[in-house]
């Protein structure tokens, strides 16, 4: 093997092969981009309200306790399907009220219980956050999570 696979051959295999895989990856990524926009997230329009909600989600760093589509911090429940769990997936007003009520009750202060902080969120922002979570819940995630528990 050592005679056939010289250092320069190994180097050429490395460079050539890497370029090949980069090209394949870029092509698949472009196709996935189209798939996400046209199919997977087409269930509900990406309104200004949803975008506002995403910014609220980011500004308060919810991802560093919760998971969203399974990605995040594993310290608090999955929220990619929270609107399904609450039974308000198709009810914007109900979604807002549930979320607003839940957030207003935090932190619970119960001893030995994980505490969700208090967040300063206006009504408009809270409606946006509820719409964002409804929007995320309608994404085609290949049937993940396995059940409503998330």
Partner 1 sequence: MKYQSQKVAYAYFLAAMALFGIQVLGGLLLGWIYVSPNTLSEVLPFNIVRMIHTNALIVWLLLGFFGAAYYLVPEESEREIFSVKLAYIQLAILVVGTLGAVGSYLVGIHGGREFLEQPLWVKFGILVAAVIFLVNVSLTFLAGRKTAITNILMMGLWLLCLLWIFAFINPDNLSLDKMYWWMVVHLWVEATWELVMAAILGFLMLKLTGVDREVIEKWLYIIVATALFSGILGTGHHFYWIGTPGYWQWIGSIFSTFEVVPFFAMMSFAFVMVWKGRKNHPNKAALLWSLGSSTVAFFGAGVWGFLHTLHGVNFYTHGTQITAAHGHLAFYGAYVALNLAMFTYAMPILRGRDPYNQVLNMASFWLMTGGMAFMTFTLTFAGTIQTHMQRIVGDYFMDVQDQLGLFYLMRFGSGIAVVLGALLFIYSMLVVRREVVKPGPVAVPGE
One of 94, 100, 103, 145 touching partner 1 (CB under 8 A): 145
Q: Distance from CA of residue 110 to its chain's centroid?
A: 29
Residue 85 burial by Cβ neighbours in a 10 Å radius (0-12, 13-18, 19+): middle
If one counts every other C-beta atom within 10 angstroms of the C-beta of residue 149, the result is 9
Question: Please, what is the end-to-end C-alpha distance for the chain in angstroms?
Answer: 51
Site for partner 1 (CB under 8 A): which residue of 4, 112, 122, 123?
112
Asked whether position 11 contacts partner 1 by CB under 8 A, the answer is yes
Q: Which is nearer to partner 1, 38 or 123 (CB)?
A: 38
Residue 7 touching partner 1 (CB under 8 A): yes
Cα-Cα-Cα-Cα dihedral sign, residues 84, 148, 68, 110: positive
Site size with partner 1, rule: CB under 8 A: 72
Check binding of 147 to partner 1 (CB under 8 A): yes
User: Which tokens sit at 35?
Assistant: 């798939």
Instruction: Give me the 48-87 binding string for partner 1, x by CB under 8 A, dash otherwise.
Output: --xx--xx-xxxxxxxxx-xxxxxxxxxxxx---------
**113 near partner 1, rule: CB under 8 A:** yes
Stretch of residues binding partner 1 (CB under 8 A), selected from 88-96, 97-105, 121-129, 137-145:
137-145
- The yes or no reply on residue 115 touching partner 1 (CB under 8 A) is yes
Least distance in angstroms from the C-beta of 27 to partner 1: 11
- CA dist 58 and 72 (Å) reads 12
Beta strands, E only, the chain: 67-68, 71-72
């Amino acid at each position: 093997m050592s005679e056939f696979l010289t250092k320069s051959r190994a180097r050429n295999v490395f460079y050539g092969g890497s370029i090949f895989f980069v090209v394949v990856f870029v092509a698949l990524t472009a196709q996935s981009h189209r798939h996400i926009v046209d199919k997977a997230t087409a269930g509900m329009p990406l309104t200004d309200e949803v975008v506002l909600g995403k910014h609220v989600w980011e500004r308060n760093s919810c991802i560093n306790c919760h998971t969203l589509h399974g990605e995040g911090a594993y310290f608090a429940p999955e929220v990619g399907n929270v609107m399904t769990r609450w039974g308000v997936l198709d009810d914007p007003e109900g979604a807002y009220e549930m979320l607003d009520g839940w957030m207003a009750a935090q932190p619970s202060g119960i001893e030995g219980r994980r505490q969700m902080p208090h967040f300063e969120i206006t009504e408009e922002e809270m409606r946006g956050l509820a719409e964002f979570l409804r929007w995320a819940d309608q994404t085609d995630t290949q049937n993940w999570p396995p059940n409503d528990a998330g």
